[in-house]
Amino acid sequence: MTLDAAKLRREFPILDQLVNDEPLVYLDNAATTQKPQAVLDALTAYYQHDNANVHRGVHTLAERATHAYEGAREKVRRFINAKESAEVLFTRGTTTSLNWIAKSFGDAFVEAGDEIVISYMEHHSNIIPWQQLAARKQAKLVYIDVTADGFLDLEDARRKIGPKTKIVAIAHVSNVLGVINPVAELTQLAHENGGIMVIDGAQSTPHMPVDVQALDCDFYAFSGHKMCGPTGIGVLYGKRAWLDRMEPVEFGGEMIDFVNLYDSTWKELPWKFEAGTPNIAGGIALGAAIDYLTAIGMQTIHEYEQSLVDYALPKLLAIDGLTVYGPQDPAHHTGVIAFNLEGLHPHDVATALDMEGVAVRAGHHCAQPLLNYLKVPATARASFYFYNTKEDADRLVDAILATKEFFQHGPI
């Protein structure tokens, strides 16, 4: 199946606007993606026609809302190929999902002296929960190195994942270096040593096919807003064997089975973990986003974005004074491209690009340990999605060249 990005972008109302009198080129997709009309319509339709709490009512609106919400859970199950919908927990996003694992699994199964293995390229959301867990349990946090060309060092991983390893937690795709990490191999290493594998899928799930059964991971976390869905909704996949043994981290509302004066019991999976009124509209709209992405095809999206990288990365590398972080070969680089322009702070670069209508990110990208490892305080970051085009890549290159010219020689 071919992908017509110019046609698809017309389904995203926000992209049809001027920014600083220039047509918008949105290249901050690693932070959040834009929403197609189908997702916006799903949000509106719920509130206009079906607004009711789920699971609790027998009236028509409540039944319609429950059917749509649980239908979205089944869409997620199919999308990531989980074995059963009970293994799909709705959360607020990747950060919440990872915190749930660290608190629920970690407090139950991690002991003093155990090791938690992560890498230098992790997002803060996949660092701080493990720091806190290690501190609570007197466990040790171990970091896998990054190679000089921006890959996770698999040989170092083999040295550091060992008999003391209880948890390995790694990003499927780096939000700075733009690399796809060998999570299947890491899962095998973790299991061979008696540990479990946690995958941060925030930057992978929107861009490529994901099969949690094929990966054999124990937990997989991702966010709706990075895959054309709304903010405030995310997913934690967990193998039933672990979820059955874990305790909830939030209590009240829908997760209750029976409440006595001095103790209570919990509902079965997945509701055992989902306390209170959930983000019903968000869940339903995430289902609509999955319908939208599935209709395009995740492999089609992956291949199209790779063609954009094949086009854009050589042009960026050819700019004198511009440094791209991560692999220099487009074949090993996703649509996340972090860079710096010699002599300029990335915030100045991002501000100048915005004056040209090009939206990119600037800062440490919630990955300060990685930037310290790279010995840079911050970078600019362009990140592509399937509604971007080669013309967008050209606009980015032209805007960088114009920025360089302005700061070297001033306005013409």
Q: List the one residue out of 201, 172, 221, 206 whose CA is nearest residue 34.
A: 206
- pLDDT at 257 (0 to 100): 85
303 with 284, same domain? no
Pull the structure tokens for residue 76: 């997620």
**Number of structural domains in the chain:** 2
CATH code for position 24: 3.90.1150.10
Torsional sign, CA 37, 39, 44, 50: positive
- pLDDT at 408 (0 to 100): 77
Q: List the one residue out of 107, 117, 215, 110 whose CA is nearest residue 159.
A: 117
Q: Are 29 and 365 in contact (CB under 8 A)?
A: no
- pLDDT at 410 (0 to 100): 65
pLDDT by residue for the chain (412 residues), tens digit each? Answer: 689 999 999 999 999 999 999 999 999 999 999 999 999 999 999 999 999 999 888 899 999 999 999 999 999 999 999 999 999 999 999 999 999 999 999 999 999 999 999 999 999 999 999 999 999 999 999 999 999 999 999 999 999 999 999 999 999 999 999 999 999 999 999 999 999 999 999 999 999 999 999 999 999 999 999 999 999 999 999 999 999 999 999 998 888 888 898 988 888 889 999 999 999 999 999 999 999 999 999 999 999 999 999 999 999 999 999 999 999 999 999 999 999 999 999 999 999 999 999 999 999 999 999 999 999 999 999 999 999 999 999 999 999 999 999 887 666 5
Q: Does 228 participate in catalysis according to the annotation? A: no
Helix (H, G, I), strand (E, B) or coil at 338: strand
CATH code for position 234: 3.40.640.10
60 with 181, same domain? yes
Q: Are 212 and 233 in contact (CB under 8 A)?
A: no
Please state the pTM of the whole predicted model: 0.96
| Listed residues 295, 330, 350: the one ending a domain | 295
| Listed residues 269, 295, 321: the one ending a domain | 295
β pairing state of 115-119 and 140-144:
parallel
Report the distance separating Cα 210 and Cα 201, nearest Å: 9
- pLDDT at 108 (0 to 100): 96
346 with 202, same domain? no
216 with 93, same domain? yes
- pLDDT at 411 (0 to 100): 61
141 with 250, same domain? yes
143 with 217, same domain? yes
291 with 181, same domain? yes
| Listed residues 242, 273, 295: the one ending a domain | 295
172 with 303, same domain? no
- pLDDT at 256 (0 to 100): 83
190 with 106, same domain? yes
335 with 398, same domain? yes
Dihedral class, residue 132 (left if φ above 0, else alpha if ψ from -120 to 50, else beta)? alpha
385 with 282, same domain? no
Catalytic option among 38, 128, 319, 366: 366
333 with 402, same domain? yes
- pLDDT at 254 (0 to 100): 81
Residue 270 structural domain? 40-295
Q: Which residues pair with residue 196 across a beta bridge?
A: 167
β pairing state of 115-119 and 165-171:
parallel
**Cis (ω within 30 of 0) for the bond into 13?**
no
Report the distance separating Cα 340 and Cα 322, nearest Å: 6
- pLDDT at 412 (0 to 100): 53
- Number of helices (H), then strands (E), belonging to the chain: the values are 15, 17
